[in-house]
Amino acid sequence: MKLTILGCYSATPRVLTNPTAQVLEIKNHMFLIDCGEGTQVQLRKHKIKFNRIKHIFISHLHGDHFFGLAGLISTFRLLGRETDLHIFGPKGIKEIITLQMKLADSWTNYKLVFHELTSEDSKLIYDDEDLEVYTIPLKHRVYTNGFLFKEKEGDRKLDINAVETHKINIAYYRKLKQGFDVKNDEGKLIKNSVVTKPGTKPMSYAFCSDTAFHESIVTVIKNTDVLYHESTFLEQHEKLADPTKHSTAKQAATIAKMAQVKTLILGHYSTRYDNLNDFKTEAQTIFKNVKLAKDGKVFEFI
Amino acid sequence: MKLTILGCYSATPRVLTNPTAQVLEIKNHMFLIDCGEGTQVQLRKHKIKFNRIKHIFISHLHGDHFFGLAGLISTFRLLGRETDLHIFGPKGIKEIITLQMKLADSWTNYKLVFHELTSEDSKLIYDDEDLEVYTIPLKHRVYTNGFLFKEKEGDRKLDINAVETHKINIAYYRKLKQGFDVKNDEGKLIKNSVVTKPGTKPMSYAFCSDTAFHESIVTVIKNTDVLYHESTFLEQHEKLADPTKHSTAKQAATIAKMAQVKTLILGHYSTRYDNLNDFKTEAQTIFKNVKLAKDGKVFEFI
């Protein structure tokens, strides 16, 4: 599982800081999460192949999270894309993108599939052989979802020596990988655990931005491997966090602790702060394993 | 008159090239012309004060000319802008910007005034003491206008020696500057031209992008000092220019020659070309005084 931060600052794009966008590489998928202005340039800068992006997840319709979407869709068209593009985002996202295409009289050649979100509860919105994606209802000034990406339990691995010793026919290997007990050449039932080992441990990633401190997400993201939680402010500005429905570094760490995640990544910093290390120091008073998002940073998790 | 090119490439923003946006400084105004994605970052990079921009002119609703507008409007709000902002552009521009503000539940504190354009003829759309702005109807795939910025004839300058020699009372100086003949202390009529000199020569700038070769603009832009005319293609790709409703460098130069402008600036280059000098060489076979737009380039005209 690999996470590339294209932008992790709040509010407005600047010369050296980009609004929210990130690419999650998981089980051979490349998911784009949020798409602030300038995201397509960031994708180019980090040499991410446009065609590998087939699903875009938009948390909410504030500009710093989606003003790059219309341009990206339009660039895909200009480059002759043929692959379908799925867009998950709040109700209204279809209307705004369609209106822009109508006014420009520029329609995509490829299929654009909108999955508009309206539920206030966590929902399964994507499901394939390898993974599931759930919404994480957040608490912000407008309707907002985070997203939980969960790899499925993979196949078990054959212990080739044990399989041969127990004389199991090759025709049963698939069933073994799927976890079933099988009969061997002599008609004897062989316990699965005797001839297989656990497969790769499934990973999970939760993206939570933008949001105020919101305890009810804890049940949804419980035991997640990696949590990206916004921390627009430091505790010294907690009074700003409440009315703007953002979080402090300490609040993000509190959620990480309650949900017993393994790693917390902080991001969505207000540009008022010069020293990002203050976010880490503050969060670590509550939760140990804290990392700081930075534009262009790549996190690999195994 | 000063022109700052923020972006002058067609189609899609890239790491080193920006879509169309430029700032015209004229008679103490700062007019923003077009606003492709990333324009607000380009404005910051070139240290242009956001608050000095009170008028934005959008040629047409293709993304590379206006996908930066919603973000700029939103950033102005976040920075606490109070000054009115006037936006001139094709009908539909108000709907799209308003819908984005509605979905984000983020309304501007400052007054946003839309001047929607629908006419197929050149119209006076801005007029003050110092200058006028006219639309230049262009020929593109969607409804598109160029813009002609014309300084007004300034006051005449007093020839102080002549004024004293002819014994003209100070009370008449204003009338003299305005070009009137006045009576002197002895009741004798003094011809204006005897005691004044012409004021500063008024300048004019025509922005024409995007457009196919379109002869009928010549009457509108006749004798303009500076013409920015798109040249998406070189003559070798003329066959692409017609269906896409763009121009070649040679066609831009032909318009410049017919309109007898003083200077032609080329821009809106397709990113397929590596060497921009080919545009200049081609145009100069028709019209001598050709300059090339480049992102970040500043032209000063006096």
φ/ψ (deg, to 5) at B154: -80, 175
CA atoms within 13 A on the CB side of A208: 36
**Distance between the two ends of chain B, CA-based, in angstroms?**
6
Give yes or no for A41 touching B (CB within 8 A). yes
Q: What is the pTM of this model?
A: 0.91
Q: Which residue of A has its CA nearest to B92?
A: A103
Spatial separation of the C-alpha atoms in residues A210 and A20, rounded to whole Å: 10
* Catalytic residue flag (residue B155): no
Residue A215: CB atoms within 10 A of its CB come to: 12
Give the orientation angle of helix B93-104 with respect to helix A93-104, to 10 degrees: 170
Question: How do the domains of chain B map onto residue ranges?
Answer: 2-154+200-300, 157-197
Mark which residues 129-168 of A lie under 8 Å from B by CB: 141-142
pLDDT digits (tens, 9 = 90+) for A139-150: 999 999 999 999
Spatial separation of the C-alpha atoms in residues B63 and B69, rounded to whole Å: 10
Mean pLDDT of chain A: 96
Spatial separation of the C-alpha atoms in residues B83 and B64, rounded to whole Å: 26
Give yes or no for B92 touching A (CB within 8 A). yes
Give residues with Cβ within 8 angstroms of B284, minimum separation 6.
B253, B290
Contact yes or no for A12 and B71 at CB 8 A: yes
- B200 or A94: which carries more pLDDT confidence? A94
Spatial separation of the C-alpha atoms in residues A116 and A61, rounded to whole Å: 12
pLDDT at A212 over 90: yes
Report yes or no: A290 and A253 within 8 Å, Cβ to Cβ.
yes
Chain B residues with CB-CB distance to A11 below 8 A: 75, 78
ipTM of the complex: 0.89
According to CATH, what is the number of the domain B2-154+200-300?
3.60.15.10
Containing A265, the helix (H) or strand (E) segment is strand A263-267
The residues of A annotated with a catalytic role in the active site are 64
Chain A residues with CB-CB distance to B11 below 8 A: 75, 78
The reported pLDDT for the residue numbered B302 is 86
Mean pLDDT of chain B: 96
The reported pLDDT for the residue numbered A154 is 85
pLDDT at B200 over 90: no
What would the mean pLDDT of B214-221 be, rounded to a whole number? 98
- CA atoms A33, A34, A40, A46: torsion sign: negative
Q: How far is B277 from chain A, CA to nearest CA, in Å? A: 25
Active-site choice (B64, B210, B225, B295): B64
What would the mean pLDDT of B215-230 be, rounded to a whole number? 98
Give residues with Cβ within 8 angstroms of A46, minimum separation 6.
A4, A6, A23, A296
Beta bridge partners of A21: A7, A35
The reported pLDDT for the residue numbered A171 is 93
Q: List the structure tokens of A234.
A: 């430091």
Q: How far is B104 from chain A, CA to nearest CA, in Å? A: 5
Q: How far is B12 from chain A, CA to nearest CA, in Å? A: 6
Chain A residues with CB-CB distance to B62 below 8 A: 104, 106
Question: In chain B, where do the E strands start and end?
Answer: 2-7, 21-26, 29-33, 53-57, 85-90, 112-117, 124-127, 131-137, 145-151, 157-158, 182-183, 189-190, 196-197, 204-208, 226-230, 263-267, 290-292, 298-300
pLDDT digits (tens, 9 = 90+) for A262-287: 999 999 999 999 999 999 999 999 99
Spatial separation of the C-alpha atoms in residues A7 and A63, rounded to whole Å: 13
pLDDT digits (tens, 9 = 90+) for A34-54: 999 999 999 999 999 999 999
